[in-house]
Structure 1
Amino acid sequence: MNAQVSFLVSVTPPRRRIDPLVYQQQLEVTFQRTTSILTFYLQDGTYTLIHIPLSLYSTLLQPILRVLLPQSQGTGGLRDSPEYELQGLTPDGQHGFLNISITPLECSVVCHTSWAQNVFEPVLKAMPRDTAKTVSVSKESYMVLSVISAGLDAGGRVMELTSPLALAGIPIFFITTYYSDFILVPTKERENVVKSLIAKGFELSDNESNFITSAANHKQGAGLSATSPPHEGLPLNVAELQTRIFGTLKKRHVAPQIEETLELVQCSGREASQLANFIHQRPSISRHATGNGRRPSWADNVDTKLYTCIISALVSQPRFMSVTLAQDDPPSLLLDKNLLYIFGDSLVGDTDASLIPIFLDLKTLPLEATGIVCGVAGILVQDTQIAASSELSYLSTAQAGAVILSEEQSVRAMGILKPLLSEEL
């Protein structure tokens, strides 16, 4: 069982109620200011980031679906053996974390490293070498931080979460879902992540008394470290970081773009309690009444109708669809509004709202590039109307990023970003 660590300061309710029993086996880290609370949960395991060019999406759809449907991995007697265990899954067979995103720029998958090795790599090895080279599989592993926050507007939340890491030179990927924010950080940076957050004034404490004592020492240490000179080459503040980031983006010819007629909705599957009541209303044959003696299946614990709809949408090669599965959260979907008809009554959320993604094609930048999320979000939240918006979010994919706003705010955002990245300046 992992240790629990908390960074505490207020009692504002989080974005989503947290059952402490649910996360008792996860590293819990809460960073709290006097006006907000940020709770980090470190997901177990290491994760891999995969870029798939859209031209190969149909070719690699089968391994994508195998990862989405965990019980498609392993067959026959192997699955029934006591030694057989699917890595990266919870005891009831759910993914600890999985993101599958299809955008106009690429297909991107974040999955447990064991799934990348056992599902994707064999398929890539069987492909022609020149073709396989167009697929990018991250060489280093990532850890996933699940973040629950309260007391912050959307733009402030992105800045609060990303700026300490960006200023420390730590590369991240940022994914906003219906319930939570997720930050992917290179596993090798784990210690630096904690150090950088402490150094920026977050208070460290722990559920056990010996760590509470350490919290005071850490807090004092944070004050001392704040006066230490920064590491050579790192920006001194967010303003300098923004100048560097936009200089880099402009040098690499990265320009913001909006896809005409593409409108998104942010939705979710049903909570477990809602799902139980909802399924009870459907006529069905109980799987548990078969008397076949088998242990419960993964399918017994999910909304099979929703998964059928997700598969149908993926098979259609959608223009935009991002699916995030996370431990103890219902599936979260950010998708093209034109796909809603596929899902029927399987989704909850405001399906009448329209969100507009602004894409940044980052294929010319290395995975270890730092500060992009913080730099772009920081520039946008300087606009008071965008800063006050509750709809600003960000989606990192393997080789791109998308800032997601309401239609009105997306126009303002393009008016801010275009001049900064214009080739004419």
Structure 2
Amino acid sequence: MLNSHEIQLYKTKISILTIPRENFWIFKSGVLQILYKLIYKMEGNTSDDDDDDDDKDASTVASVTSSSSSGSSSVEDIEVDDDGLFFQLAFTPEEVTLMCSTKLIKKYLSNPLKISNDPNNLIGSQLLDDEFLVLQMLNDGSNIGKKILELTEPLSMNDISIFFISNYFSDIVLIPSKQKQKAFHILEQEQLNATSSKKNELEERTFRLFKSSEVKPELNRSIKLLLTGARSGDSVEVLKKTAESLTKLCTEETKMKTKSNNFPSYFAITRTPTEEIGLVLPSSEREQKKLNYSKSSILGSSQDFYYPLFINLKNLPIDLKGIVAGVASKLLRAGLNEMSYLSLGKSDMSVRKMTTSIIKTSNKITTTTMPKYFDVGLNLTDEMFKGHYRNNKHHEEDIESVLKKAKFFNVSKVMLTGSSLKESEEAIRLANTYTDPIIYPKVSCTVGIHPCTVLEFEKNDNQPLNHLNDLRQLILKDDTGVIKAFGEIGLDYDRLYHTPIDKQQEYFKLQLELACEFDLPLFLHMRNACDDFITILKPFLSNSDNSSKHLKCKRLLVHSFSGTLEELNSILKLEDEFPNIEIFISVNGCSLKTEENCKVASQIPISKLMIETDSPWCEVRKTHHSYQYITQCPNEFYPFEYIDFDTLNQPVKKGAAKTSNEFLPVRQMKSTNLDKVQLIQGELDPLIKSRNEPCLIGFVAEIMSKLKGVEPQVLITTCYENSNRLFG
């Protein structure tokens, strides 16, 4: 593994200093001195007497490091002399991290460090006790995520504290100098095979720590960063411009607690002895102008941007072992093999995840808030998501793909509906399977038996109470809390060919009696049966002592509402009769078919409204009256640039079937073609024609926003808050 053509170990010892950004002004002068020393050396100037002393000390460090080696030929093969001027400076809105030689930090930052070491100071900076050695791995720009994991996982699993930097030209691991021999022994023994698609121990350990400490990684698509570098021959110029910009940054204005807007919120510059300057820059031209770099001096494309994945580690130890590798493992399993790591410190940790999608957030949308959706009705247990259509197998199961697309299009939460005992069991299993908060929406579920399938109560040796007890046991055994509602139960008089009225009513009552045993909201189904629905429901809503059964939870959702205005008002008036209850109404494509449907939907109070897809059913079709309200992205509901895949890098063939979705930057195709499609690198998996998915919930939001005359973000936020209030 230790190949001198790919890996180099520099002998100079490095220290790491973290500074709250608001207090950087205290350290700025010393940092600039280090930076100008670097410029002076890179310009080829001869060192003065003072600098000669530095070089001698650096040589001494190198000599000591070499002589203390145990004679491992592998280490000696990759160990190289350096000029002692490794330099990395990184800014986030909260923190500044400086990494450079211990000698330089102690020489130029001695005074502010003395203040920092005073127990009474409030600066909040920290110089790590350990010194580090720089292990540099040259890269070709591919499989960066895999290399992060390969370099850091073996060390982290052996309790070696490390720091990781992804530079434009290389990947850098900082290893504690006192653990050099142990680290190289570990790396020499490791056989770095292809990363497993399964969870590894480090990943599980990392996310257990996150969970116990209530740390939640958050992807922010409103911020875009570029991983780039200075062109050959322009490094000195870039360093000078950086120094000039730092000179203007946070002088007494920060001390007086006024905001400084003359330096980017996110920035990193890295210099190694063998490379040009590496940079992390904001993608915004306005932000880049603050640095005054010449465009001709900078490499890379402004389109290859990164989204930041924030992990707030303020309350965790600064020497966490394996955080980078643990997070990288999870991202790799999500198919994201290009990522960059910017900085780690007491104030903040930022892992940079490069978008592997060719879909870009649109700069045409002025809203600063990304939409956040809760799909409260998703039939993920349906056979279509397993590739079966009318008993014919068309493609492999794509449940994971469906959830990933939903997450990409800002669906934060989904609730899977239980329509039978078997499907309720499956919904629980799925909710406990797809739990990665970075990759998937948060998945919860309901438990209950749909009115169209209640005859299954009579198939269990014709013992309905035994079947009911099986349902009870599902809820009692839910030790992970994924069951958020009791349902889908109710009445459906539109489909009596499935179940006659008397049986629907009998088992609606029976399930309501079971619901009284648990503190769960109701997830209700009502089609063309409003009077009987209300008559059966009322006794369970009462607090009267004469009522034998009372619902512990008096909150309920009537989902997929497609009734009349009179029926809507009758349901909502139950709150007047029973002031202790709270009723919500959800809509989907089936709620918005006709002009009359749309008029009724517009009358649902926004304080009572939720949205859903009821996937794979209830899509908004071209024949629906509501279809006219959907617009092509970018818009507030889908702030992404549109891609026409039919014209992307290829001429349109005459008579060829259109494969691009009309509104979203994703392809769609027949179910029989899904396993045959060849995707462009970074492309999302296609949609299936006539199969609804949770990622399409934005269509319902857009329609309801226009029907009600409510601003998009108000509609989206209110529906999300309503859903959280009921289901959490």
Contact kept, 8 Å, 2:21 with 2:95, in 1: the verdict is yes
Deviation at 1:138, TM superposition (A): 0.4
Partner of 1:357 in structure 2?
A: 308
Q: Which residue of 318, 324, 349 maps to 1:367?
A: 318
Partner of 2:711 in structure 1?
A: none
Moved more, 375-384 or 148-157: 148-157
Closer, same or farther: CA 419–347 of 1 in aligned 2, 3 Å: closer
Partner of 2:27 in structure 1?
A: 60
Superposed counterparts of 1:23-422, under 5 Å: 29-30=2-3, 39-70=6-37, 79-80=48-49, 84-86=53-55, 96-126=85-115, 130-131=120-121, 134-149=124-139, 153-201=143-191, 239-259=200-220, 261-272=222-233, 275=234, 303=236, 305-314=237-246, 315=249, 316-338=262-284, 339-341=287-289, 342-344=292-294, 345-384=296-335, 386-387=336-337, 391-399=338-346, 400-406=349-355, 408=357, 412=408, 416-418=436-438
SS in 2 for 1:42: strand
Deviation at 1:112, TM superposition (A): 0.5
CA deviation profile, 1:342-362 (whole Å, cap 9, x unmatched): 212321221333211111122
Partner amino acid, structure 2, of 1:332: G
Partner Cα separation in structure 2 for residue 421 and residue 187 of structure 1: 42
Partner amino acid, structure 2, of 1:30: N
Closer, same or farther: CA 130–195 of 1 in aligned 2, 3 Å: same
Structure 2 unaligned segments of length 5 or more: list them: 41-46, 63-81, 250-261, 361-406, 413-435, 443-479, 483-728
CA deviation profile, 1:28-58 (whole Å, cap 9, x unmatched): x418xxxxxx822111211111110012022
Partner amino acid, structure 2, of 1:84: D
SS in 2 for 1:246: helix
Closer, same or farther: CA 84–199 of 1 in aligned 2, 3 Å: closer
The structure with the larger Rg is: 2
SS in 2 for 1:188: helix
Deviation at 1:421, TM superposition (A): 12
Partner amino acid, structure 2, of 1:403: R
SS in 2 for 1:417: coil
Closer, same or farther: CA 421–260 of 1 in aligned 2, 3 Å: closer
Partner Cα separation in structure 2 for residue 405 and residue 82 of structure 1: 40
Partner Cα separation in structure 2 for residue 349 and residue 149 of structure 1: 15
Contact kept, 8 Å, 1:172 with 1:186, in 2: the verdict is yes
Partner Cα separation in structure 1 for residue 352 and residue 145 of structure 2: 11
TM-score, with length taken from structure 1: 0.66
Closer, same or farther: CA 259–420 of 1 in aligned 2, 3 Å: closer
Closer, same or farther: CA 82–336 of 1 in aligned 2, 3 Å: closer
Contact kept, 8 Å, 1:159 with 1:378, in 2: the verdict is yes
SS in 2 for 1:402: strand
Partner Cα separation in structure 2 for residue 111 and residue 81 of structure 1: 18
Partner Cα separation in structure 2 for residue 187 and residue 47 of structure 1: 9
Partner Cα separation in structure 1 for residue 51 and residue 14 of structure 2: 25
Deviation at 1:318, TM superposition (A): 2.1
Closer, same or farther: CA 163–150 of 1 in aligned 2, 3 Å: farther
CA deviation profile, 1:162-191 (whole Å, cap 9, x unmatched): 222122222211100110000011111111
Which has the higher relative contact order, 1 or 2, with Cα contacts under 8 A spaced 6 or more apart?
1
Partner Cα separation in structure 2 for residue 134 and residue 310 of structure 1: 25
Partner amino acid, structure 2, of 1:39: E
Deviation at 1:132, TM superposition (A): 5.5
SS in 2 for 1:58: helix
Partner amino acid, structure 2, of 1:54: R
CA deviation profile, 1:276-310 (whole Å, cap 9, x unmatched): xxxxxxxxxxxxxxxxxxxxxxxxxx52x322321
SS in 1 for 2:26: coil
SS in 1 for 2:316: coil
Contact kept, 8 Å, 1:394 with 1:402, in 2: the verdict is yes
Contact kept, 8 Å, 2:22 with 2:94, in 1: the verdict is no
Contact kept, 8 Å, 1:50 with 1:109, in 2: the verdict is yes
Partner amino acid, structure 1, of 2:14: Y
Closer, same or farther: CA 331–202 of 1 in aligned 2, 3 Å: same
Partner amino acid, structure 2, of 1:261: S
Q: Percent identity?
A: 22
SS in 2 for 1:404: strand
Partner of 2:559 in structure 1?
A: none
Partner Cα separation in structure 1 for residue 276 and residue 226 of structure 2: 16
Supply the RMSD in Å over aligned alpha carbons.
Answer: 3.7
Equivalences, count: 322
